[in-house]
Structure 1
Amino acid sequence: MKKFDKDRLILALGGPALAIVVAVALTSVVLLASGSNPVQPYALMAEYAVHSDIQVLIVNQAGTYYLAALAVAVGFRMNLFNIGVDGQYRLAAMVAALAGASVALPKPLHILLIVVVAMLVGAFWAGVAGILKTTRGVSEVVSTIMLNAIATSVVAYLILPAQFGEQRGNNLTTGEIPESGWFPGIDLGAAGEIYGFVVVAALCGVLYWLILNRTRFGFDLRATGASESAAIASGVDAKRMVLTSMLISGAVAGLTGMPVLLGDSHTYSLDFPVGVGFMGITVALLGRNHPVGMALGALLIAFLEKASSTLDYNGYEKEIATIMQGLIVMAVVISYESVRRYGLRRQQQKVGEELAAEAAAAGGTDPKNRKEVSA
């Protein structure tokens, strides 16, 4: 049992650890090739992240990335590659901002309305890809990429002043959500305020784990993702699971914009964060679709993004952090494949040892010293 636990630990932590080590090593090579110190940038970012206000920024950013990663992970566990989280999140945030700015309700109801609208829009947009896959066999990779582009155009159209937007200087917005629609945060004084929706993100991670590991639906989802034919043979409706998974993934993607919308900007504008959905793919891969692993991955990516701003003031390009993020994605694929092959070899080795032990016992041979018992 102890040996089994050790192997599980190696398989669980080996991939992310190897990915980070490889990414750091390759980034150091890039720094050396450019004539820069290969160690000092990491020290500068670590020193910068010690400040409490930067830590608040990291936590806030990590909350957004974590929700995006959860949305991606739901698809991954179903063996679906939902690349459309970014489009689903932006369209949901804009429509939710429009809904929130157009009504006046008591605080709990106002917040609930905005959140529900965001989830419904995200689920609807992801559901389009789900329907195309289940009825026409269209790959979700292709359809979600196309839907990202369509979502960008839809958002650009709806935010025009001639439609539902407002002109504010050189920016276009959906109008500000009244204070009754603001989600209360955690005030840390001079350090700033942690978005209250970060707590909701953490609760979503707990719910994600419970559903996948403690419910029949979660078992069916994982079983269908592992082997669709086997799941069908056991009575699972694979097409329904595909559509349901895409709807859930889109609903969680709709929540991704809520930390910023309800905790900071209180409006959707042209400078609303973009690329969050794609960063969610990185975090989900890095965390191996596990809620704790994705939380650590979100914190790492947020740290690289926020702490890299100090590099500009110390003679280094802040794009170093961007290079590292890209290398992490590449290293994740390589390291996970290496860990997977190691796991297969360990399983084969264990099976061989067990078979040898059984054969030795059946033949009257001691498997340790291989001494045959005399007749």
Structure 2
Amino acid sequence: MTDPNDPPNPEPSKPEPPKPDLSKADPSKADLSKADQPGGPEPVPAWKAILRGMGPTGLALRIGAPVLALLISLVITMILLRITGADPFSSVQSMIDYGTTENSIVDIVNRATRYYLSAVAVAIGFRMALLNIGVDGQYRLAAFFAAVLGGAVTLPAPLGQMLVIVAAMAVGGLWAAIAGVLKVTRGVSEVLSTIMLNAIATGLIAYLLNDERLAEVRPGSNNVATPQIPDDGRVGSLNGFLSTFGIDLPGEVYGLLPLAIVVGIVFWVVINHTRFGFDLKVSGLSPSAAQSSGVSARRMIVYTMVGSGVVAGLIGMPELLGASYEYSLNFPAGLGFTGITVALLGRNHPAGIALAALLFAFLDQTSDVLQEVDVPKEIVGVMQGVVVLTVVIVYELVRRWEIRLQQRTVAAELATGHDLARVAAGTTGTGGTGTGGTGSAS
């Protein structure tokens, strides 16, 4: 028996845990990447990681979907041409021959520049599940007031051009902000509000574009227009720059073409590589989830509409500062609605939008030549609708197919994980029994 007064037996000594390396407390000195450890795997480039994540089937679907959609739309278009009594092959060949001339190429590039800016403005709203139909009114109102300001103020270059561009962006953003504020404060659908704002913009321009108000009628002309922008406020063409590379074109390419390229790059970077772009997409997918993570979906709606309007204000700038130098009754209209179809066709991606803008510009440019082969030019509108409809249907089918592939992949991985867990559990159970038996025998 033990004496209760005896001190208790000391606990068996345990090895002291290793002291932490304080040098690793500094994140700048921490080495948490296996790729940086000796003998670790090499880092995988981003493009390879994307391709691996998509898999060969997913990659084939992504590449084949637009090609298949264009082929289907081409077949349907040729059938429609045959129904009208025209030879589809000669009609398409006439369009290609006319569209590849130097004059047509210049016009196609200029048209595509306007279509591209319009589509990017629409795509900004699409990224947050907002349909900004008011792009048409926003760019026309912005171009009108920018033309009035540019014709009234004379500043040395480049201040004159910058003033006009900034004014257009401000007008477009403010006009679009009205729809955003109405949506978050009164619950008014942006579709309805922007449609009404388009009508208001049209009426406001018609009222102000008068020789008794902000416009004038020049001698020998019946066209009402704003005062012309002086030479210091204009933007020259890119022909001089292109001629240094041996490219001589008969027409003038918009000098603000690089601006459209910059807008596309900024759009892609902001949406895919900034916190704002992430918050924008999350707010569009699930406002409640965005709210729970500390993002104000209401504020993001207003920001998105303002951003869309700011880009919409740039749509008319290539034409205003590079060709017409005034806002008149002949100023290009309807670009906002074209931008919706181009954005849909381009899947809201800057590269896809660029290709879609070139395609629509090509179809618009070559519509006149169809009359020479006894085909009504209105068939081009049908062709554009067929292209968009076909692309939307094909992409929806591809999206559903990808979801099924992902579900099958996840199910297979889960099944493999369960099998490994059973094997591991069986091995552990067998080892435990053997140890227990040995202990009993001893």
TM-score category (smaller protein): over 0.9
Distance 1:142 1:13, change over 3 A: farther
Contact 2:106 2:249 in 1 (8 A): no
Residue 263 (structure 1) aligns with: 322
- The secondary structure found in structure 1 opposite 2:224 is strand
After superposition, the Cα gap between the structure-2 partners of 1:232 and 1:346, relative to the gap in structure 1 and judged at 3 Å, is same
- TM-superposed deviation, 1:358: 2.4
Residue in 1 that maps onto 2:202: 152
State which structure, 1 or 2, has the greater radius of gyration over its C-alpha atoms: 2
Residue of structure 2 in register with 1:355 after alignment: 414
| 2:183 alignment partner in structure 1 | 133
Cα deviation code 1:205-263 (max 9, x no counterpart): 00111111111111111111121111111000111100000001000000000111111
Q: Which amino acid in the other structure matches residue 139 of structure 2?
A: Y
User: Considering only aligned residues, what root-mean-square deviation do their CA atoms show, in Å?
Assistant: 1.7
1:161 to 211, 235, 256: 211
CA contact (8 A) 2:86 2:374 kept: no
Q: Which of 156, 175, 180 is the matching residue for 2:227?
A: 175
Aligned match of 2:254: 195
Once the two structures are TM-superposed, the CA of residue 359 in structure 1 deviates from its matched residue by 3.2
Q: Please list, as runs of the form range in 1=range in 2, the aligned pairs for 1:146-295 lying within 5 A after superposition.
A: 146-168=196-218, 169-187=221-239, 189-295=248-354
Deviations 1:7-42 (A, max 9, x none): 453454455334323322222221122222222222
Stretch moving more, 104-113 or 224-233: 224-233
Contact 1:123–1:251 under 8 Å retained in 2? yes
CA distance in 2, matches of 1:241, 1:41: 48
Per-residue CA deviations over 1:69-106 (Å, capped at 9, x if unaligned) read 11000000011000110110101001100000001100
Question: 1:373 corresponds to which residue?
Answer: none
Residue correspondences, number = 365
Deviations 1:356-375 (A, max 9, x none): 3223434459xxxxxxxxxx
- In structure 2, what is the equivalent of residue 300 of structure 1? 359
Structure 1 residues 189 and 44, CA gap change in structure 2 (3 angstroms) = same
What is the TM-score of this pair, normalised by structure 1?
A: 0.93
Q: In the superposition, relative to structure 1, how do residues 350 and 314 fare at CA in structure 2: closer, same or farther (>3 Å)?
A: same
Residue pair 1:11, 1:340 contacting (<8 A) in 2 also: no
How far did residue 310 of structure 1 move? 1.8
Measure how far apart 1:315 and its partner are: 2.6
Residue type at the aligned position of 2:59: L
User: Which is worse superposed, 213-222 or 107-116?
Assistant: 213-222
2:65, 2:398 within 8 Å by CA — same for their partners in 1? yes
- Greater shift, 311-320 or 92-101, is seen at 311-320
- What displacement does 1:160 show? 1.0
Q: Deviations over 1:124-149 (max 9, x none)?
A: 11011001001001000111111111
* In 1: Cα distance, 2:225 partner to 2:137 partner: 18
Is the CA contact 1:16–1:286 (under 8 Å) kept in the aligned structure 2?
no
Give the match for residue 117 of structure 2.
67
Report the Cα distance in structure 1 between the residues aligned to 2:351 and 2:362, rounded to whole angstroms.
17
CA deviations 1:141-175 (Å, max 9, x no partner) are: 11111111111111111101121011242211112
Identity %: 50
- Among 404, 417, 433, the alignment partner of 1:345 is 404
Q: Structure 1: how far apart are the matches of 2:107 and 2:262?
A: 20
User: Given the alignment, which residue of 141, 149, 161 partners 1:99?
Assistant: 149
User: Which structure has greater helix proportion?
Assistant: 1
Question: In the aligned structure 1, how far is the partner of 2:272 from the partner of 2:69?
Answer: 26
Q: State the shift of 1:59 in Å.
A: 0.7
Structure 1 partner of 2:84 = 34
Query: How far off is 1:353 after superposition?
Result: 2.0
- Scaled by the length of structure 2, the TM-score of the pair is 0.79
Residue aligned with 2:313, SS: helix
Aligned to 1:370: none
For 2:97, give the aligned amino acid: E
| CA positional deviation for 1:348 | 1.2
- Matching residue's letter, 1:96: A
